Structure 1
């Protein structure tokens, strides 16, 4: 009941603040205009992450003081830093190097100061405890990857918010059941604020979260996943909600963003482009070409992500050596089938459409026909030409 009230508080603040933010951003003309890689057709305010941040902050101020927060004080500070990195990038675009430096500061706070990191692979690939520096480096890399993978999927109404909803819902419930109240309340306040955001971001969207929201949410999810992995691994075997494939569960929780990032980078590199070159090769772009609406794509991908989370419950007693290959094979197979179906559909759609030369000849014929009709009308009309 307590955590439900915390989520409800964040939801209420988000619902009250979001319309105000939309009005302010519209007046300031801060948002995304159609054209280029944008797939919307009208001006939409961005930076909805501001309202998500405010809602979570207010709810934390109301409820979190009841718990001992020293274990997450550095995490909270890092989330604030990541929020301002995204805010600055939305207001005045940062260079990639500048953005990475800002992200690294937040990552160091979590990995080094808060000691939220991957300390042990628990026998995966024959590796157990990691040396301290290796642990720092590997954890920082994983956290940066999770943050930016989530940032990259924020290109469709309701998609990023739906994915975050699943992650925070799973983690909040797990932390609550394990008695990790500070992590649980943090997860639930973000859950509530995201539900409020989705009410305005669902298709047709009235606001986007922008980097202000996507970097902050991606980073928060990544940090909480690292915390989950370590606390889950510390549970005795057979304990309630203990997952044996520790590494696999962490991947599954962010499977769609990670798969989409890997897929896009691989395609760009194979085409001789830089991995960060902007294009329309994301999965949601492919699905849009099939004629699906924003909400249909978000629901489909959200259902697939939810299905993988359910699957990991069934594989909870298997080792990473079994669970990870199975999950990887399913993800690659579904991605391969999606690409094949999309390409086939687009080719069929193109074949049904008239070719450019045919359209030009038709237009020319129409113009000639119109001109001849006008000439005939002119000859037959009674006009004084003197």
Structure 2
């Protein structure tokens, strides 16, 4: 690979843009050509997602699409962004553990506590082993630099929450995949603008985008023979990687004097990161609060997720996913427009807009029912 880079350098070709192009194309093609084989094996071995009370689908569908996503990301990141595995030595080990746990859960359904133990382990690998931590809150609630041990605990909890939150939004076709593409694109653009030191993370973001776009081709298919879900394997993997890129993004703006590493200043960096991941954060907080309000266990499954509410309005999966992604993308634009505002005020605005989006479908549903009742009378 280094000889190839030297060859391109001698001809005045930027290796970075070559990596971007080849990384995207390779990740897309690997996933695209892997999924038909996975679908074939899943149907032959009856490794299918069975419809249940909470399901938004009515037929058995293969749910091992996350294997193709892992396969693609693992290969392409190792080839085109190998520096990442040098910088973060426990990253690949964490992905392997998540693959194993995800596949096991998709096939035989693991107990919740076993998945939690695995999530704690992979989070500890990356937080302690690779020193990927939330070191400062930039003045949120008056908190700046965080004690090392509190930082480790807080970051591990953050990883676990985001892994499971992303798993929870994977309830309708296109939502988890489409949202992960948007998040990866936003983080990738941010890394690109923040300089060459962050280019490996740009390539990682592009690889994720390519892989997930290929998956979405099958996930959004109208033909039963080619349709597939990403399953827990895919949702946990993408949730973990987005949590990883989110924390790396925040870390760029922390004023640490490291050799040959330029530092940048943006006091609202944590809020920008929250805005990018606002959908899984708000959706998870909302369903937990609703369950507690109704005196139910916060871990009890129900249909109070945002996507369930839109389906209740008789929207298709595609339209529901589109409306949700567009609304929460607007929140990112608000966060970016007011990025130099007071960090606490901006956080309140972002969370407020997030919860408004969560309850808009309820308001529309009630207004529609009132109009129907008035018409009938």
Same fold, judged at TM 0.5 (above): yes
Partner of 2:250 in structure 1?
229
Q: Is residue 98–residue 237 contact of structure 2 (8 Å, CA) maintained in 1?
A: yes
1: CA distance between counterparts of 2:253 and 2:178?
Answer: 24
Displacement after TM superposition at 1:118 (Å):
0.6
| Residue from 200, 209, 213 that aligns with 1:195 | 213
1: CA distance between counterparts of 2:35 and 2:373?
Answer: 41
- Output aligned runs, 1:235-274, within 5 Å: 243-274=266-297
Displacement after TM superposition at 1:242 (Å):
5.6
CA RMSD for the aligned pairs?
Answer: 2.2
What TM-score do you get using the length of structure 1 for normalisation?
A: 0.85
4+ residue segments displaced more than 4 Å:
239-242, 346-353
Is 1:33 matched with 2:50? yes
Give a deviation string over 1:172-202, Cα, whole Å, max 9, x none: 2222332212222222211110010011111
Partner of 1:216 in structure 2?
237
What SS is found at the alignment partner of 1:122?
A: strand
**Structure 1 stretches lacking a partner, 5+ long:** 354-386
Displacement after TM superposition at 1:209 (Å):
0.4
Q: Paired residues, what number? A: 350
Give a deviation string over 1:33-81, Cα, whole Å, max 9, x none: 334221212221101100101111221233234x364212212221221
**Structure 2 stretches lacking a partner, 5+ long:** 1-16
Partner of 1:361 in structure 2?
none
Partner of 2:319 in structure 1?
296
Partner of 1:153 in structure 2?
169
Partner of 2:147 in structure 1?
131
Q: Is residue 253–residue 309 contact of structure 1 (8 Å, CA) maintained in 2?
A: yes
| Residue from 330, 354, 359 that aligns with 1:331 | 354
1: CA distance between counterparts of 2:22 and 2:64?
Answer: 26
Partner of 2:27 in structure 1?
10
Give a deviation string over 1:314-373, Cα, whole Å, max 9, x none: 1122231221112122223333333211233356668999xxxxxxxxxxxxxxxxxxxx
Alpha-carbon distance change, 309 to 241 in structure 1, aligned in 2, over 3 angstroms: farther
Partner of 1:185 in structure 2?
203
What TM-score do you get using the length of structure 2 for normalisation?
A: 0.87
Q: Highest CA radius of gyration, 1 or 2?
A: 1
Partner of 1:169 in structure 2?
185
Q: Is residue 152–residue 257 contact of structure 1 (8 Å, CA) maintained in 2?
A: yes
Give a deviation string over 1:229-288, Cα, whole Å, max 9, x none: 11133499xx99864312211211110111111111111111121111111111111111
2: CA distance between counterparts of 1:349 and 1:274?
Answer: 34
